[in-house]
Structure 1
């Protein structure tokens, strides 16, 4: 990143475009280092995918509801924000898979559905005898088999066979990334997996070692009251540091003054008929989704350095509050991930929130439950028959049907207490093969733009851990260069 020559009155000013977690973290870090920061967000709410909504008088998460505990980076942040005492672990009921053969307990020893041990009894419920025999070949294959795989699907198929891919890995990966493992860059979605495989001699050993390397206890944690409190705490921290926050402003373009070196955002308020306005500063942090960052910065970069980044599929999250005492026994644990080979259910995942989080169950009381179903596989993204194309009331009806199938008990409309549909337009695109190289090239090209850097899930990978780690590293280096220059 080259640093712009700026006048002394504005040299410490930074514009942060995007008010999601990456943008809020960037603004917080820069403000703590003494920069004058302005955050610009196109939507009315801040926090991006870490938001809230109200159901049956309760505030619940409308997006992310947990964070991975493989690193302490998120818990450290929560401690800084005064939320450490609210960190809670999910109930240890385990999750399930929904396959064409029905609901099956999910193996709990591996990574992204890859078994870490072939002694896991759950394997017998999800794989045939021949499927288990093929998977066990992983132990005896040369470590080099699959080492050059570009996608996660290619790696799993080479090491453990098609059945492990179809019955274990694909439901997990599709539930998280909305696409099949054959399309996902293995080095991005499972960083370090191939290196561990080469070191330990098998894919199972690698998956097991990465799982064991996480801190003891659950692989994920949450916040009592919801992850949405992270967004609220970050915003409150920014307000205490007098960070200027502008919501409802869509950035149309960005220009750079060749004389002053200042970057100017051309914005339009979301209000109909509002005139464009401009805001300037010598330094710019792009904390938007990939297509927006590329659109805004593309004209300032050489054509070969502009990656082709398409928006991810629209995702709809349907939350249901139901009076159903039969669910008190948590018949499917904390929820299910659903194989894309299933034809009688259209959801890609179900979370039984009141079985997963004790604080939710305590607020609801016995007999009342919250289940959340997600819809929107990338394979259906452009289809007029896609579930996300349904109206909210139709989607809620479909969710009742799917929840009944998945949970093994009929839930009637009469038992529905409340429901809400939250839609995420252009959700995070899946990191397909070659994505990592695109990101490296894009960030290298940004080094030629004065006073500019970029952060966000499309660059770091999905999940709060990945976003927080990457944002900290990038903004730390960015701030140091600005301060050292001045």
Structure 2
């Protein structure tokens, strides 16, 4: 069985890896010059840094399992510190404990981050009539109705912004924070629902190991290691090869169903045929490729919106800093009107980062949320200057950096707006009607590494199950 995987991000590579384990012959096509998608390692002042995602949820096993399967097991490292703060009301304040995406079980936990009036408003949740949830609801809208806007603006927004770069008042609670959705459906009081959730978690066996995991040298090493494992298993991985069109054909042996993939390799137009195709590209690209064969699915995918962002990495000499800031970094609520939305103190968070050059202090800031495209239209030097101003105001980091790097992720994060899961279900139903076609990636079941890997495994397993007895594509 010959399967063409379109897209060389972590979802496409994970799909290829899974297909190879299942005995398929795999050709992977990536339009850009490199593999890895939003996972990428670079250098600042000679030190390796992640230029995209820097960690993966370890309590969900798919990402860690893939890392071990492709030879990175010994390189897995948990964060050296998890002491995050929130920069709000003019100070760095400890991240409250005992919350679910910013929603507390105890209002007092938010004291300091939320005003006394805001804390009092949270306590009114027990008195309010039930708030209708229905099949889905925006996280911000529901939480604001139950607990007041301050909880959303000071905690929910920055936490969700770190994951989706999205607007809490548009993001789906069912898709983005399913635990809150279930708590909201369980009873009238949101606080009581969160407390019940926390009690169930406490009563259950505590999960072993850290919550998050990184990789020595950067989690951006994962795509290259997966690609190497795929090549060793016989996969044909091609970069710089754009897919122009996707068409159903008769099977390569003259019967059954197959696929013709029209390609453009640096101006050289060609075509490949296969028994099956796995589409592991962002929703807009998938919509374009499905327009001819699955127009209804293409229309659904074309409606998925994306947010752009930038990562600004800075390296300082420790000797130039008045004091090395503690903790892993801080989040910034958009209501405070700052440029950056977060900063990660990489040299504190990752032991391997500090070990590479003990004299350097490396950190990252992130800029850009949904609807903030204007902030990303400035040049790299302006993003660096804005980051430095915010770092000085928040953490007293006023030194001159010895090196900087700006990495832009245009349309990098899909927005899981209200109704997203229903849209995904419709897309999958429509795609399933076409033999030998599957979809996966960040646009469907989650934007984190484990979710993308799980999506890829699902697509690969469906392809293998439906392809028993298929002919050999060319």
**1:14 corresponds to:** 3
**2:55 corresponds to:** 66
Unaligned runs of 5+ in 2: none
1:310 to partner: Cα distance: 4.3
Q: RMSD across aligned C-alpha pairs, in angstroms? A: 2.4
1:71 to partner: Cα distance: 1.8
1:147 to partner: Cα distance: 3.4
1:82 to partner: Cα distance: 2.8
Instruction: Describe the superposition over 1:122-172 as per-residue Cα deviations: whole angstroms up to 9, x where unpaired.
Output: x21111222112223345656x53533511112211222211111111121
**1:7 corresponds to:** none
Q: C-alpha separation between the residues in 1 aligned to 2:157 and 2:169?
A: 9
From 412, 424, 445, give the equivalent of 1:439.
424
- 200-209 or 425-434: which moved more? 200-209
Q: C-alpha separation between the residues in 2 aligned to 1:479 and 1:116?
A: 45
1:306 to partner: Cα distance: 2.7
Distance verdict in 2 for CA 1:298–1:330, change over 3 Å: farther
Give the secondary structure class of the aligned counterpart of 2:421: helix
From 177, 180, 184, give the equivalent of 2:167.
180
Give the secondary structure class of the aligned counterpart of 2:277: strand
1:332 to partner: Cα distance: 5.5
Distance verdict in 2 for CA 1:304–1:285, change over 3 Å: closer
Distance verdict in 2 for CA 1:199–1:325, change over 3 Å: farther
**Is the CA contact (8 Å cut-off) linking 1:332 and 1:407 kept in structure 2?**
no
TM-score (norm 1): 0.88
Give matches, 1:160-199, under 5 Å: 160-199=147-186
TM-score (norm 2): 0.90
1:91 to partner: Cα distance: 2.7
Q: C-alpha separation between the residues in 2 aligned to 1:116 and 1:287?
A: 39
**2:335 corresponds to:** 341
Give matches, 1:117-128, under 5 Å: 117-120=106-109, 123-128=110-115
Give the secondary structure class of the aligned counterpart of 1:378: coil
Give matches, 1:56-455, under 5 Å: 56-120=45-109, 123-139=110-126, 144-148=130-134, 150-199=137-186, 202-205=192-195, 208=198, 215-216=207-208, 218-258=210-250, 260=254, 261-269=257-265, 271=266, 274-303=267-296, 306-307=299-300, 308-325=302-319, 330-331=324-325, 333-343=327-337, 345-366=338-359, 368-381=360-373, 386-411=374-399, 415-455=400-440
* Count of aligned pairs between the two proteins: 460
1:464 to partner: Cα distance: 1.2
Give the secondary structure class of the aligned counterpart of 2:144: helix
Q: C-alpha separation between the residues in 2 aligned to 1:328 and 1:364?
A: 19
Give the secondary structure class of the aligned counterpart of 1:428: strand
Give the secondary structure class of the aligned counterpart of 2:335: coil
**Is the CA contact (8 Å cut-off) linking 2:305 and 2:415 kept in structure 1?**
no
Instruction: Describe the superposition over 1:360-402 as per-residue Cα deviations: whole angstroms up to 9, x where unpaired.
Output: 1122214x21111111222122xxxx23212223322222222
Q: C-alpha separation between the residues in 2 aligned to 1:117 and 1:75?
A: 33
**Is the CA contact (8 Å cut-off) linking 1:305 and 1:441 kept in structure 2?**
no
**Is the CA contact (8 Å cut-off) linking 1:313 and 1:429 kept in structure 2?**
yes
